[in-house]
Amino acid sequence: MTSTETADMFSRIILQHLNSGFLSVGIAFGSTTGLFQAMENMGEGKTSQEIADAAGLKERYVREWLGVMVTGKIVEMDDESETFNLPAHRANVLCAKDKFNTGTYTELLPLLCQVYSPITKCFTKNGPRGMPYSSYTGLHELMKKNTRAKYSKLPNFITSVKEVRPLLESGVNVVDIGCGDGFVVCRMAEAFPTSEFHGVDISEEAIISARNEAATLGLTNVTFHTHTAARLPAYWSELFDYVIACDTIHDQAYPDVVLSEIRRILKPNGYFSMMDIMAESKITDNMSNPIAPMLYMTSLMSCMPLSLYFENGAGLGTMWGKDKALGMLKSAGFQCITVAPTEDELPDYHYFNKKV
Ligand SMILES: C[S@@+](CC[C@H](N)C(=O)[O-])C[C@H]1O[C@@H](n2cnc3c(N)ncnc32)[C@H](O)[C@@H]1O
């Protein structure tokens, strides 16, 4: 508790948060409409009309948006010529194509606000248990963009432990559980042509997208399946040498069942890499995490209600944290060999496990 804080001081802090929330939605507009990209390509000193024309948008809306961006100190303005400039280093942070960019992530906030009213109802005692995936229009599309921003090259969890690369080079069977649009598993299939890869996702939309990705890359060593991870094919018992799951387990309605299915399909001594949010189970242990409120909000507005939607859903939430995760992995019959942050700009914990 901060005893020296006055109501005025606190009020200013809240005003700052309010302002940042609105500004963040403004940044999302710049990302979604391609305005940042247009400004980056045009260079310095352009009028609102020139920027609107380059982005193929209405000038009046672009001018109002520029007001947000200038006063929010994202875009610079020359008063006399009434021209605007997005400095190159800022454009790189907001819309770089070949690396992680935070601009894409701002789009999550307005997307999640689609369910603001329904989630408010979920809070009430007699309200709905949770929300189905179908309530989140555009979620898969955005996850696809975010995954590309996050894993622009071969995911570095592969090289962060000594066991994985030699295993993949030796020609093994691998499956990605909750593979989404298949971006990660396709990168792996490309890099390790002697191994056989599979991707499983409950979403037909994601699997169609994954098959397209594999076809575009001309991959013949990856197969995709629309399936729930809570009941994988019976004939998959002890079929795989290596299983991965990237940001999938905490969303599950029945994570204990999914973990035991993963154990079942692994060969004896097989490995399981679980990438999940870098968070701690105790709220106060997340105080030094600068994006903890964003992660808890993502949980509150999507990951948790998506799981609670199902009867007796676990509702672990995005922030289930390391202790809870380690406890569940152990109960499912895994020996967690190491837990370490991945080297991504928005790191996950990599739980590297062995079937015991
Ligand atoms: C946060 S996304 C992560 C996608 C992908 N692994 C990535 O890193 O881009 C979680 C994925 O898990 C999938 N999923 C959720 N529940 C599932 C289940 N029971 N079985 C299979 N996939 C599931 C979702 O459809 C979604 O594509």
Residues 6+ apart with CB under 8 A from 313: 129, 130, 253, 254, 307
Largest CA distance in the chain: 72
pLDDT at residue 1, rounded to an integer: 57
Rg over alpha carbons for the chain, rounded to the nearest Å, is 22
DSSP 19-86: HHHHHHHHHHHHHHHTHHHHHHHH-S-B-HHHHHHHHT--HHHHHHHHHHHHHTTSSEEETTTTEEE-
DSSP result, 247-278: S-GGG-SSHHHHHHHHHHHEEEEEEEEEEEE-
Per-residue pLDDT at 23: 98
Separation of CA 184 and ligand 1 centre (Å):
12
Residue 40 CB coordination number (10 Å)? 18
The rounded distance, in Å, linking the Cα atoms of 311 and 330 is 25
Question: Which of 146, 202, 303 is the pocket-test mutation for ligand 1 (most atoms within 8 Å of CB)?
Answer: 202
Give CA–CA dist 147/256, Å, rounded: 25
AA letter at 13 = I
- Per the document, the length of the chain is 356
Cα torsion through 256, 197, 141, 281, rounded to 10: 30
Nearest-5° Cα angle at 253, 176 to 233: 45
Q: What are phi and psi of 317, to 5 degrees?
A: 85, 160
Nearest CA to ligand 1 atom 24: 178
* Domain architecture of the chain: domains with CATH: 7-97 (1.10.10.10), 152-282+311-355 (3.40.50.150)
Query: Hey, whose CA ends up nearest to atom 8 of ligand 1?
Result: 246
CB contact set of 106 (below 8 Å; sequence gap of 6+): 24, 25, 27, 28, 31
| Ligand 1 atom closest to residue 229's alpha carbon, by position in its atom list | 20
Residue 206 identity: A
So what's the pLDDT on residue 274?
97
Residue ID of nearest Cα to ligand 1 atom 16: 252
- What residues flank ligand 1, with Cβ below 6 Å? 143, 147, 178-180, 184, 200-203, 206, 228-230, 246-248, 251-252
Atom of ligand 1 nearest to the CA of 146: 9
The segments of the chain whose pLDDT lies below 70 read 1-2, 98, 149-153
Which atom of ligand 1 lies at the shortest distance from residue 258's CA? 19
Give the pTM.
Answer: 0.92
